[in-house]
Structure 1
């Protein structure tokens, strides 16, 4: 932003959900196989209009398909970005959905929409199968935002794609010479970075001293520096935040996990995604209430999740499509337990659906399903978890498009 996104996600009116439901605890015995559990490839499903599933075509996929040429054993990290097209006629906003994959050899592959150069191959051509990001090796982490991407190499951050709000962090914006970038460029004045995250036109980095830095769009306070009006095209430190061990970035909010197992948040809060018992945005970090012993955090488009040390799940924020999984469709301003889903290894989600990788190697999903993003074989929404990949599939990680309807597992 000046964001092309509104403060809330438009929800499809064709999905019918019950206002309350009871989740049944999921175990290996209750998971019905939908795919060959011995399949060695990274998997993807859902919307594929821009080739963002990486399977060589642009056809909608209602069940998991293979990402071409990327085996799970070779894949270190996969990040999915972008959004669906919106509007009609001359007011249509093109789709930006894409994905970036870091291989264990330190090289990076990408595919999907490329109108802003977000797949980093030196062109603006859409690509339906993985190809190399230009000139990248020795990479340790990647991230994908609404229309830009990040990579960490030797503690430094590289960026490419749209730069409309300074989200590339290279000291210029799209209006300047060298604004949008079709190949990676260095982020200024930042070193010793151990992780990165990307949202809707902003970027976040975690340094090895536990401090957090942000740059790009300032709207809604997403930079965490007590300023929601001034975009920054170079990194600025998030105020009063130390001892952070992990970050996760939504469309316009950020979660930061502290060493003591507590969670801080800042940015947009229209759906309660900051978890501080309000819907008022915050330009500086606030504490997520009623939450401790957190092992992992996951910020979805306008929602938030925490995996606790015991593998149980907590959720808060946007719930209009039942994507929090608590049995209702009411937004939550504080963390609520998702008691029926246990043994969680990782969570990810888009604006209206959620994925979870369980400790039995399966992937489950719930929420809206307009483009088959649940992987259930239909486009019917599900207010209870459905199986995308069965137990024994050897899956540990999931990802979903920043503001879209595409899903990934590896």
Structure 2
């Protein structure tokens, strides 16, 4: 009887989960305590804590998912880090929003960042994007000297760091000639440093928190 009851309970929970997620076209992304999901009709939903400005004034209570804010109507991909997030719409326009040291950036959020974007990767405080022309752009939250010199603009703008790129995976880019390059923003400058050659593609393999690994096809 206990086995049967547990089976019925599990079935009910799975059915409820499926019903709740059946209209979502992409797994949920999170930024701090804010959550994002793209509905099947393209609506980009945001709910949770509003510290980063995605769901309303920063002093309001967390927004429940039943009252999720719609940020975009035609989104196809969203990614999020701790203090910022970005989404690509059906036209290839990259939109961004977020905050640094309690401050939001951009007069209106989400705001346009780049056009003709193929993919975007959002880290804790930095972002990188690959455009259809093979260029890679990176940007992020200023720190150190850069933040001291730009108190009124705490975010470094998107800056091109590479061209002739065929794949962007996190902070790693594969160029047409097979060079694997790491791109990042350290709070003051945008940097691109070659790691190895003769690479066809790159991915990740999780081996436990003490054993990170990089999977390279070449």
Q: TM-score, normalised by structure 2?
A: 0.68
Count of matched residue positions in the alignment of Structure 1 and Structure 2: 192
- Asked if structure 2 preserves the Cα contact closer than 8 Å seen for 1:199 and 1:252, the reply is yes
- Asked if structure 2 preserves the Cα contact closer than 8 Å seen for 1:212 and 1:244, the reply is yes
Instruction: Deviation per CA, 1:290-333: give whole Å up to 9, x if none.
Output: x222223244xxxx3213346642113489xxxxxxxxxxxx95
Instruction: Deviation per CA, 1:326-360: give whole Å up to 9, x if none.
Output: xxxxxx953122116834332xxxxxxxxx3xxxx
Q: Which residue, 191, 207, 213 being the options, matches 1:334?
A: 191
Q: Does 1:263 align with 2:130?
A: no
CA distance in 2 between partners of 1:234 and 1:152 (Å): 20
Instruction: Deviation per CA, 1:248-293: give whole Å up to 9, x if none.
Output: 111122212111010122223559xxxxxxxxx75422111xx222
> Alignment partner of 1:295: what SS?
strand
1:233–1:292: structure 2 CA closer, same or farther, 3 Å change rule? Answer: closer
1:372–1:200: structure 2 CA closer, same or farther, 3 Å change rule? Answer: closer
Q: Summarize the alignment of residues 280-291 of structure 1 with structure 2, pairs less than 5 Å apart.
A: 282-288=155-161, 291=162
1:209 to partner: Cα distance: 1.4
2:211 is aligned to: 374
Q: TM-score, normalised by structure 1?
A: 0.39
1:248–1:318: structure 2 CA closer, same or farther, 3 Å change rule? Answer: closer
> Alignment partner of 1:200: what SS?
coil
Q: Which residue, 74, 77, 82 being the options, matches 1:200?
A: 82
1:146 is aligned to: 32
1:195 to partner: Cα distance: 0.7
Q: Summarize the alignment of residues 57-68 of structure 1 with structure 2, pairs less than 5 Å apart.
A: none
1:175 is aligned to: 59
Q: Does 1:164 align with 2:51?
A: yes
1:156 to partner: Cα distance: 0.8
CA distance in 2 between partners of 1:338 and 1:146 (Å): 30
Structure 2 residue runs of 5 or longer lacking an equivalent are 1-13, 145-153
Select the structure with the greater relative contact order (CA < 8 A; seq sep ≥ 6). 1
CA distance in 2 between partners of 1:140 and 1:308 (Å): 30
CA distance in 2 between partners of 1:282 and 1:174 (Å): 19
1:174–1:230: structure 2 CA closer, same or farther, 3 Å change rule? Answer: closer
> Alignment partner of 1:235: what SS?
coil
1:235 is aligned to: 109
> Alignment partner of 1:135: what SS?
helix
- Asked if structure 2 preserves the Cα contact closer than 8 Å seen for 1:152 and 1:194, the reply is yes
1:383 is aligned to: none
- Asked if structure 2 preserves the Cα contact closer than 8 Å seen for 1:247 and 1:257, the reply is yes
> Alignment partner of 1:210: what SS?
coil
- Asked if structure 2 preserves the Cα contact closer than 8 Å seen for 1:206 and 1:212, the reply is yes
2:22 is aligned to: 137
Instruction: Deviation per CA, 1:204-261: give whole Å up to 9, x if none.
Output: 11111121222231x38xxxxxxx944579733225x211121111112221211101
- Asked if structure 1 preserves the Cα contact closer than 8 Å seen for 2:159 and 2:190, the reply is no
